[in-house]
Amino acid sequence: MSAKKADESNKSLRELLDEFEQIVAWFDGDELDVEAAIAKYEEGVNLADEIRAKLKEAQNKIEIVQQKFSADSSETSNVDD
């Protein structure tokens, strides 16, 4: 893993989204340099991948909690019977 990739993985989802929003805002601006646009696009793609990974990680954690809650709920209802 590159140093930049490792640094991004330590950023919060909010930080990654803020960076992504800055890139989108740059594209909405009046300045259009092809070389800069390509670099910004590549940066945006990398950020989008990192954001997807963070969201997937959060989704997995939520599913684990839901499964645990479901298991705990069924155990509780079995005790009440």
Q: What is the predicted pLDDT for the residue at 70?
A: 87
Q: Please enumerate in sequence order all residues whose Cβ is within 8 A of that of 54, keeping only pairs 6 or more positions apart, or say none.
A: 13, 16
Which amino acid makes up residue 56? K
46-78 pLDDT, tens digit each: 999 999 999 999 999 999 999 988 887 777 666
- Domains in the chain with CATH codes: 9-75 (1.10.287)
- Rounded CA-CA distance 73/33 in Å is 58
Residue that wins the pLDDT comparison between 23 and 4 = 23
Torsion angle of the four alpha carbons 27, 33, 36, 37, in this order, in degrees rounded to the nearest 10:
40
What is the pTM (predicted TM-score) of this model? Answer: 0.72
